[in-house]
Amino acid sequence: MDISSSNNAFTIKPQKAVGLHRFLCMQGGDDDGSYAKNSQAPASAITLCKPLLLTAIQSMKLFFNNKDEADSVRIADLGCGTGYNTLATTDMIVESLKQRYLKECGFKPEFEVFYSDLPSNDFNYLFQSLNALFSDKKTRPYYVAGVPGSFYHRLFPKGKLHIAVSLSALHWLSQIPEVVLDKRSGAWNKGRAWIDGAKKEVAEAYAKQSEKDLDEFLKCRKEEIAIGGMLFILMGGRPGSCPPENQLGDPDSRAKHPFTDSMDQAWQDLVAEGLIEEETRDMFNIPAYMRSMEEVERGMKRCGGFEIEKMEYRRIVEHSEEKQKEWMRDPVSYGRAKTNMLRAALRPILQAHLGPYLSDQFFNRFEKRVSSDLNLLHKTCFYGVIVVFAIRI
């Protein structure tokens, strides 16, 4: 990255985008800006879909009915991230399956759990958390391995997985559409970091990339999951009545979502202060897309090999009424909490774009914007999610 200094200000000359797989990950570690400390929204989504996941586990095929012929049951968490959410989910899956086997077959097989994410993921912290979770047990209830790699590519041998789950990950795209980064294109996303509220050409470019990515994801899972196995997905989503340029569904959610107004204002602050050029701002786009259920269903039909057992769209409130009242008394703490959430999700890709110093300056501007806008605290923000459970046929 080319950085020059003039009048105590830094200017970054944008370069061509490089593969997101090199740095698209949640912030590792366990400090205040880490994903482990700021994953309440995914945790709420997982809690909401837990009954459906348990129902799916109870209704899926049991692969080994004879103790003498039993192999290990293999479970993969795709886009696992770090922290408690992934560990609690896989522990619940293993325990539920174990009880089914004991009740229906009179024995319990061995279990293998594969935690998979991009190589940039903080696997060290994940496995440290795993050790802490089972520190009081002589043996772990399952065998564990880490599998680095993109879930848009093959990760496992053919037909070897019995359960694959992807929780709060599949709305992240493999790349920014090239036309969005081309200022000669009608899809040039000038002045915005994301697509909610953007012009139709930008949203269409993201929708096209989303369709391609979903096809690749499903094609790989079709190869990896054994016949009768289960695919369970929880991802960011939008109502079917909303076009792609309306990713969030309602004006209050749009105003309060960290990817929208406050972020665009923070970018503009850096431009106005002479810290970055406009082009540097315009070359940054967030690689996320909230699909509709119709888009997911079409992707499943294009791929074949899966039968959707259940699919739902649900809305999740961003935080409790008690937390909102607490933050109304202390808007600064609200701004800090919202900024930590943003750091957890975007610090690695922001640092790759701006470098450490300017990315810190960006987060400082974002925190000031959020803390000073008291109207935000009186709005209720919802996150939309799609939950889908499908059987490999």
Phi, psi of 73 (to 5 degrees): -85, 125
Kindly state the tokens that stand for 383: 């996150």
Identify the residue with better confidence: 275 or 15. Answer: 275
Could you count the other beta carbons within 10 Å of the beta carbon of residue 307? 10
Average confidence (pLDDT) over 231-245: 95
Structural domains of the chain in order of their starting residue, each with its CATH number: 2-392 (3.40.50.150)
Instruction: In whole angstroms, give the CA distance from residue 325 to residue 317.
Output: 15
Beta strands in 106-204 (DSSP E): 111-117, 143-148, 161-167
Q: According to the model, what pLDDT value does residue 376 have?
A: 85
Where does the chain have alpha helices with state H? 40-59, 84-104, 123-133, 200-224, 251-256, 261-272, 278-282, 293-303, 321-329, 331-354, 356-372, 374-377
Q: Residue 344 has what pLDDT?
A: 85
Contact (CB, 8 A) for 250 and 196: no
Please check the confidence at residue 148 and state whether its pLDDT lies above 50: yes
Q: Which residues contact 356 (CB under 8 A, 6 or more apart)?
A: none
Sign of the dihedral defined by the CA atoms of residues 150, 151, 152, 153, in that order: positive
In angstroms, the Cα distances linking 54 to 92, 124, 232 are 8, 29, 11
> Would you say 48 and 313 are in contact if contact means Cβ atoms under 8 Å apart?
no
User: Among 354, 170, 381, 386, which residue's Cα sits nearest to residue 262?
Assistant: 381
Q: pLDDT class for 45, splitting at 50, 70, 90?
A: low
236, 335 in Cβ contact below 8 A?
A: no
Mean pLDDT taken over the chain: 87
In whole angstroms, how far apart are CA 241 and each of 146, 244, 251, 274? 39, 10, 15, 41
Look at residue 9 in the predicted model and tell me its pLDDT: 38
pLDDT in tens, 304-327: 999 999 999 999 888 777 888 888
Query: Is residue 160 pLDDT above 70, yes or no?
Result: yes
3-state secondary structure of 269: helix
8-state DSSP, 142: S
* CB 185, CB 191: distance < 8 Å: no
Instruction: With cut-offs at 50, 70 and 90, classify the pLDDT of residue 132.
Output: confident
Q: Where does the pLDDT of residue 234 fall: very low under 50, low under 70, confident under 90, or very high at 90 and above?
A: very high
DSSP 232-263: EEEEEB--TTS-TT--SSSHHHHHH-TTSHHH
| CA separation, residue 130 to residues 67, 85, 274 (Å) | 28, 11, 45
